[in-house]
Structures are given as structure tokens and as C-alpha cells.
Amino acid sequence: MSSRLSGNEAVAYAMKQINPDVMGAFPITPSTEIPEYFAAYVANGEVNTEYVAVESEHSSMSVCIAAQAAGARAVSATSSCGLALMYELLYVAASCRLPITLACVNRALSGPININHDYSDSMGARDSGWIQIYAENNQEAYDNIIMAMPIGETPSVRLPVMTCMDGFITSHAVENIELLETDAVRKFIGEYNPEHYLLKKENPLAVGPYDVSAYYMEHKVQEAEAMKAAKSRILEVAAEFEKISGRRYGLFEEYRMEDAQLALVLIGSTAGTAKAAIDKLREDGVKAGLVKIRVFRPFPGEELARALAGTKAVAVMDKSEGFSANGGPLFAETCSALYNLKERPYLINIVYGLGGRDVRTEDIEKVFGRLADIAVTGETHPAYTHMGQRSREEETV
Amino acid sequence: MSTVYNLKREVEKPIRLTGGHRLCAGCSTGVVVSGVLRALDREDRAVVVNATSCLQVSTFMYPYTAYMDSYIHSAFENSAATCSGVEAAYNALKRRGKVEGTVKFITFAGDGGTYDIGFQSLSGAMERGHDMVYVCYDNEAYMNTGIQRSSSTPRFARTTTTPVGSVGQGKKQNKKDLTEILVAHNIPYVAQTAPIGNFRDLHSKSYKAIYTEGPCFLNVLSPCPRGWDYPMAMLAEIIKLAVDTCVWPLYEVEEGVWRLSYMPKKKLPVEDFLRPQGRFRHMFRQGNEWMIEEAQSYVDQKWERLLEHSGA
């Protein structure tokens, strides 16, 4: 059925269709609407979820960890500093192998405080052991939530899943969207019947041991193996999802990449802007293309290397600053994915859009202009730059 | 439960915290945990929640758990929120017919995990009204990391972060009165207790806390031989002295009504409690008499207030 929803409402609606056992709820802009919409579903008896309105994001993630360990399906939503406050527990959730679903509405981290979009929050959590799936638009945000549980709950995976969408750009913009029937959603995600859980009568369970060096590394390697296993599971679930929705998903989306010589690698809603710019450039004969990363964890390194193997120059666009002095996180991943190719494209990194700074088609065209030069000259210096900075001479007030 | 307490009958119940855990000799924590869990009715199950602590690292070191019931540890500062999550899951699964029988939810955390870093999580869980028991085993410092001061450490106590030196004289501030703060949460049941004598006080308060609907809080004095620096064999005596000097009065507040649980036959001077403990040794040096006087006057003042509250 067609509807018109904001990203936040689409996610909340998917959660309503799922009817999870427990929700840990705490407000933070721009994700606040998700627990708000959900509270209304609870108040109207449309779900019978145990809605726990806690006193911090640290506690909402703690509630989710405990509830999932107890045998329940737990969900939450957060943004920015809220995710940062959860960091300690994100690792606990993943290492306890608890397939919690978290809607992360991406927003810049403080400081200075800023409520608009970039990926500094979820990129900071990229090594926490969570699967991370990013949406370009409302439709993808909705679809990703529905795919999260079948991915995370699979025995070979059993990892928590963070579905990410761009704060305000996606979370608050209203778009046309195709919703599935609730019955179809419930059938797709199935019942959650874990093998072991705290409330299982026949067999008590202990969760969260003190793990000494004699065992810790085995546990971490198992977690790493689970993350590797997640890649094929994500594709399986996508294939099943296509059957009920008609919408196709992969680890990333390739746009006009068949014969592309110049390409962008980026995440999220900027893909829409980039696609428009690419269409225009293609009319001018520029062989431009785009790889939109959908799944950042597990990182599709081999697949990305294959997708970029035929290109001459690639700009990796990071919407978060990693302060590594060597480029952003997506750049680092892309470089390492491409390193073993016999013939590699030239790679540059452009950090852009921090704290919600707008990016327009003209900005993307400029990036392609630079890639065209690099393809000819081979000159990548400086390989790591920031888009659209005001000059020192310009008034800053 | 019979209203008459019978220690023999209680200890005949199947044990819920098994021996072989790694808590120190002379530590009261295992005694407290066993004592609280013993109050569960035989047929009831529990999920034990634990903050990172001495108790956690000593009772659940992979791959061995000392608990016969289900158990979860997640982090240091979130044991109350963790307990909330288990209880929420229980409610949800019960509603959906996916869990059977009665399950009780009991959290154990030290004073660091309760008075300090876990305070927000505790306050939130109590306010939300989860049907759970939160037990603080109060050993008056961060013992798991090696005896650092907490807001529960009493004034003048020597810890590794309040050392005694040519200028420093131990902790400068008085102990936070957490039990009263929990009373101010207007929850159904708050009690201060200790594993003393035949454990009647600890047992009856644990039973009430477990079987009173809603959030209940127990603050249990839990001496630590390493941090308090007393001979291991003196554990029971140290607890008795804490109670008989009124340093740690036993009382409960049920639906807002204060009740003193134990009136010492003879209120002993505070120095009787201080003297056997190395952490207070400097208080007995010549010229430091004022410290003992101030410690006494603080205890007297708190005791008078408690008598007033409880109408004793």
C-alpha cells in the first residue's frame, strides 16, 4: 500500500508492524519522533510491547540488552550523543550476541553541539560489533528495519543490527513510500525463539561473564566470524525481501557503474544528489558512476574492489571527520579494500557535509571535475580535503 | 512462608549460590547474597542481575557460574536498568504466553555501583516502578579496583584515594545516606540490614523485598577485610559492632512508615567499631581525638533523627 510518511514515521510504523516485545525509549533529536509515534501505538492498543521510558540512552540500551537476553525482541532508537552514551553497551550487546534492533537517526556529535546530519555518531560505533545498514531515503529506512531481525537473529550471525538514516534529511522529510501489509511483515520476520535465554524454565542461563585471557580471544574470534557470516545472510534476506516487496537490495548499490571511469563512493541521502549530477554529466559524455554503500558493517571489501576495479579515479566522500589526519573512515575502508587489486584506480577523500552542511549537484560535479583531472595527470595531492570551506579572509560572523 | 523464622529450616533449602566462588575469606558479600537468595520460596525462580564488582568477577568467571538461577551482568553502572529490562521482557513474554511460573528479579551491586556510578540507573528504575529488588552490598569503597573512596566511604576512612599522610587524614566528607535517598523515592519498601546473628533481620527484609510488589531496595552492610583491614575471623563481630554502635542502624520503611528493627541493649561508643579496623587507625593517634569525637557526634545525630522518624 502507498503512503506518505517521514523517515521517522516510516521506521516507527515498521516497528508497529513488527510489534516487538520491549522498547527502550529515550528522546534525542532527531530520532525523538520514533518513540513518540510508538508511544501512541501503545496508548491506542495497536501494539502490546512493553514500553520502557528510561532516564538515559545508556539505560535504554541496557534495557534492550537485558530484555533480549531474557528471550524478548528489543528495539530502540537514538541519535548522536545518545548513541555515544550507549557506546560501552553496544560492545556488550554484540559480544553477548544479542540481536537487538536499533534505529540510528544520524546526527553530528557534540561539540560544538549541532543537531543536523553527519555520520560521526554511527562511524564512532563502527567497531562495536554491530551490523550497520544505511538508508538513502524513507523507503529504504522502512525496508531496512524489517530486514534487521531476520539478519541479526540467524543462529550463524546473532549480532545486533543498527539501521541508519540521515537526520532531518530522511527522518523528517515526507516522501511517498510503499508499505507492506502487517501480516506479510510478521510472516517475514517470524517468531523469535532463541535457543537459550534467561527466562527459559528448563535451563537457567548466565550471561556476561568475567572472561579471562584463556577464553576471551576465542569469544572475540567467534564474534568476528559472525560478522563475516552476516554478509551472505544480508544478501539472503534481501532476496527473500524482494519476493514480498519487489524491491532489490545488495551490500551496496551501483549506479551507472557498468562503464564508469570516474566514480564516487558514499553513503546515504547524498546518493540522490549524486545520481542527479551523474545523469547530467553522462549527458555531457562523462563516464561517471556511483557506489552507494548500504552495508558498512560487515564491510563489503571484496565486492567493492570488484565494482571499482575498472575505474580510473575514485572520490570517497566521508560525511564524518575521523581526525586520523589521514582521511575519513569510509576512505580508510575503501583504500584497504582496493589495495590488493593488481591495477587500482587513483583514490582521493573528500570530507563533506559535517553538521548538516548542504551538498548540491554542483558540488558533486566539481568533485567529478577533479577526478577527470586526476585520471589524466595522476596527481592526487592533496588526497584528503574538505568540501566547500570558507576562506580565512571571509567574514565568519 | 511461616511467620516464625527458623534458620535451620531456611538453610535446608537448596542452595542458590554455590561454594567454590572466588570471594575472599572473611568477605561478607557471599554471606549477603546467599542470605538474600535464601528468602526466595523454593518453587520460585529468580533472575539475578549483577553490576561489575568483586561479586561479579568472583562468582561468574567463564565458564563457571556460582548461581543456580539465571544470571546477567552487563556493565558497572547499569544493573538497575538491566534488571528493568529483564522484568520488562518477563511482562511482555508473560502477556504473550511465552513464559511460565513466577520469576523474581534481584539485583546485586556494590556501593560504587550504587551510590556513585549506578545512581542514575537505580533512581530511574525505582521511579519507573519495576517489580524488582535492588540489593546494595555496601562495603564502603571501590574494593574490586583496590580500595578507592566512594560516596559511601565514611569520614576519616583511609582508602588508596584518601590516604593518610602528613596533611591528609583520610576521607574528608561524610558518607552519603543512600537509604534515606531511596526512602525519598516513595517506593513500597526500603530497608537497611546486615548479616547479623542468626540472619533473621536480613532474611525477613529480603523476603519482604522480594515478595512486595514494585521496586524495593535493601542496603546491606558488607564488611571487606582487605579494605577495612580487620582480621578475617572478626567479620561477624565487626558487623555486630556496627549495629550496636548505631553506625549502621537496622531499620525499614514500608509504604512510608519507618520502623526501627533493632534497638541495642546498650549503645556502644563508636570507637569500639573503629578500633579493630586499620582504615581508622590514624584516628587513634595522639592529637586526633577530635576525629573520634566528631565521628561520635555524627552517629548520634543520625541516630536521634532515626529514632524520631521511627517513633522509637
Does the interface predicted TM-score (ipTM) exceed 0.85? Answer: yes
On chain B, the residues whose CB falls within 8 A of the CB of A96 are: 74
The predicted structure's pLDDT at residue A113: 98
Query: Domain residue spans in chain B?
Result: 7-310
Taking an 8 Å cut-off on Cβ atoms, the answer to whether B92 and A67 are in contact is: yes
A45 Cβ partners below 8 Å, 6+ apart? none
Residue A131 belongs to what H/E stretch?
strand A131-134
Strands A22-25 and A346-351 come out as: unpaired
Looking at the partner chain, which of A68, A74, A212 has a beta carbon nearest the beta carbon of B62? A212
Taking an 8 Å cut-off on Cβ atoms, the answer to whether A207 and B73 are in contact is: yes
Q: A residues 168-207 near B, CB within 8 Å? A: 198-201, 204-207
Task: Give the bridge partners for A60, in sequence order.
Answer: none
User: Is residue A65 less than 8 Å (CB to CB) from chain B?
Assistant: yes
Taking an 8 Å cut-off on Cβ atoms, the answer to whether A74 and B86 are in contact is: no
Residue ranges of chain A assigned to CATH 3.40.50.970 = 2-245
Q: B residues 67-86 near A, CB within 8 Å? A: 67-75, 77-78, 81-86
Taking an 8 Å cut-off on Cβ atoms, the answer to whether A22 and B95 are in contact is: no
Q: How many CA atoms, within 13 angstroms, populate the side-chain half-sphere of residue A80?
A: 25
The predicted structure's pLDDT at residue B3: 64
Is residue A167 classed as helix, strand or coil in its secondary structure?
coil
In the block, cell 508511544 appears at A39
- Residue B213 φ/ψ, nearest 5 degrees: -70, 140
Number of helices (H) and strands (E) in chain B: give both, helices first. 10, 10
Is residue B252 classed as helix, strand or coil in its secondary structure?
strand
The predicted structure's pLDDT at residue A391: 79
Residue A39 belongs to what H/E stretch?
helix A33-43
* Chain A with chain B: Cβ pairs closer than 8 A: 165
Residue A71 grid cell? 528471550
Residue ranges of chain A assigned to CATH 3.40.50.920 = 252-386
Taking an 8 Å cut-off on Cβ atoms, the answer to whether A22 and B85 are in contact is: yes
Average pLDDT estimate for B14-21 = 95
On chain A, the residues whose CB falls within 8 A of the CB of B62 are: 209-212, 215
Q: A residues 37-56 near B, CB within 8 Å? A: 48-50, 52-56
Looking at the partner chain, which of A71, A200, A210 has a beta carbon nearest the beta carbon of B62? A210
Taking an 8 Å cut-off on Cβ atoms, the answer to whether B88 and A207 are in contact is: no
Is A96's pLDDT higher than 60?
yes
Q: pLDDT of B59-115, one tens digit each?
A: 999 999 999 999 999 999 999 999 999 999 999 999 999 998 999 999 999 999 999
Is residue B50 classed as helix, strand or coil in its secondary structure?
strand
Taking an 8 Å cut-off on Cβ atoms, the answer to whether A209 and B63 are in contact is: yes
Taking an 8 Å cut-off on Cβ atoms, the answer to whether B89 and A71 are in contact is: yes
Angle at A139 between CA A136 and CA A143, to 5 degrees: 100
Instruction: State the DSSP code for B197.
Output: T
Q: pLDDT of A180-228, one tens digit each?
A: 999 999 999 999 999 999 999 999 999 999 999 999 999 999 999 999 9
Looking at the partner chain, which of B69, B85, B96 has a beta carbon nearest the beta carbon of A63? B85
The predicted structure's pLDDT at residue A327: 97
User: Mean pLDDT in chain B?
Assistant: 97
Determine which of B95, B99, B107 to mutate to test the interface with A (most A C-beta atoms within 10 Å).
B99
Looking at the partner chain, which of A49, A62, A211 has a beta carbon nearest the beta carbon of B85? A62
Q: pLDDT of B119-141, one tens digit each?
A: 999 999 999 999 999 999 999 99
Report whether B111 contacts B136 (CB < 8 A).
yes
Angle at B109 between CA B103 and CA B114, to 5 degrees: 120
Q: How far apart are CA B5 and CA B202, in angstroms?
A: 11
Q: In percent, how much of chain A has pLDDT > 70?
A: 99
Q: How far apart are CA A304 and CA A347, in angstroms?
A: 13
CATH superfamily of B7-310: Thiamin diphosphate (ThDP)-binding fold, Pyr/PP domains (3.40.50.970)
Q: Which residue of A has its CA nearest to B124?
A: A55
**Between the CA of residue B209 and those of A196, B41, B51, B81, B192, what are the distances in Å?**
28, 13, 19, 18, 11
Burial of A284 (0-12, 13-18, 19+ CB in 10 A): exposed
Q: How many CA atoms, within 13 angstroms, populate the side-chain half-sphere of residue B34?
A: 21
User: Is residue A210 less than 8 Å (CB to CB) from chain B?
Assistant: yes
Rounded to the nearest 10 degrees, how much is the dihedral formed by the CA atoms of B6, B10, B12, B14?
A: 170
Edge to edge, the sheet with strand B257-260 lists A206-207, B70-73, B45-50, B103-110, B133-138, B216-221, B189-193, B251-254, B257-260
CATH superfamily of A2-245: Thiamin diphosphate (ThDP)-binding fold, Pyr/PP domains (3.40.50.970)
The predicted structure's pLDDT at residue A392: 73
Q: How far apart are CA B242 and CA B251, in angstroms?
A: 13
**Between the CA of residue B62 and those of A208, B56, B194, what are the distances in Å?**
9, 11, 30
Q: pLDDT of A118-175, one tens digit each?
A: 999 999 999 999 999 999 999 999 999 999 999 999 999 999 999 999 999 999 999 9
Say which amino acid occupies A11: V
Q: B residues 132-151 near A, CB within 8 Å? A: none
A373 Cβ partners below 8 Å, 6+ apart? A379
Looking at CA atoms only, how far is residue A315 from chain B in angstroms? 41
Sign of CA dihedral B291, B297, B303, B309: negative
Q: Where are the beta strands (DSSP E) in B1-75?
A: 45-50, 60-61, 64-65, 70-73
**Between the CA of residue A4 and those of A42, A176, A244, A273, what are the distances in Å?**
22, 4, 20, 21
Q: In percent, how much of chain A has pLDDT > 90?
A: 97
Looking at CA atoms only, how far is residue A54 from chain B in angstroms? 7
Say which amino acid occupies B184: A
User: Is residue B123 less than 8 Å (CB to CB) from chain A?
Assistant: yes
User: Is residue B117 less than 8 Å (CB to CB) from chain A?
Assistant: no
Q: Which residue of B has its CA nearest to A19?
A: B92
Looking at the partner chain, which of A56, A65, A200 has a beta carbon nearest the beta carbon of B85? A65
The predicted structure's pLDDT at residue A314: 98
Q: Which residue of A has its CA nearest to B120?
A: A55
User: Mean pLDDT in chain A?
Assistant: 97
Residue A390: pLDDT band by 50, 70, 90 thresholds? confident
Residue B96 grid cell? 504473550
User: Is residue B190 less than 8 Å (CB to CB) from chain A?
Assistant: no
Edge to edge, the sheet with strand A384-386 lists A252-255, A288-293, A262-267, A313-318, A346-351, A384-386
Q: pLDDT of A299-356, one tens digit each?
A: 999 999 999 999 999 999 999 999 999 999 999 999 999 999 999 999 999 999 999 9
Q: Which residue of A has its CA nearest to B16?
A: A204
Residue B4: pLDDT band by 50, 70, 90 thresholds? confident
Instruction: State the DSSP code for B229.
Output: I
Looking at the structure, give the CATH architecture of the domain made up of residues A252-386.
3-Layer(aba) Sandwich (3.40)
Is residue A346 classed as helix, strand or coil in its secondary structure?
strand
Angle at A110 between CA A333 and CA A388, to 5 degrees: 60
User: Is residue A359 less than 8 Å (CB to CB) from chain B?
Assistant: no
| Rg, C-alpha atoms of chain B | 19
On chain B, the residues whose CB falls within 8 A of the CB of A88 are: 75
Q: Which residue of B has its CA nearest to A210?
A: B61
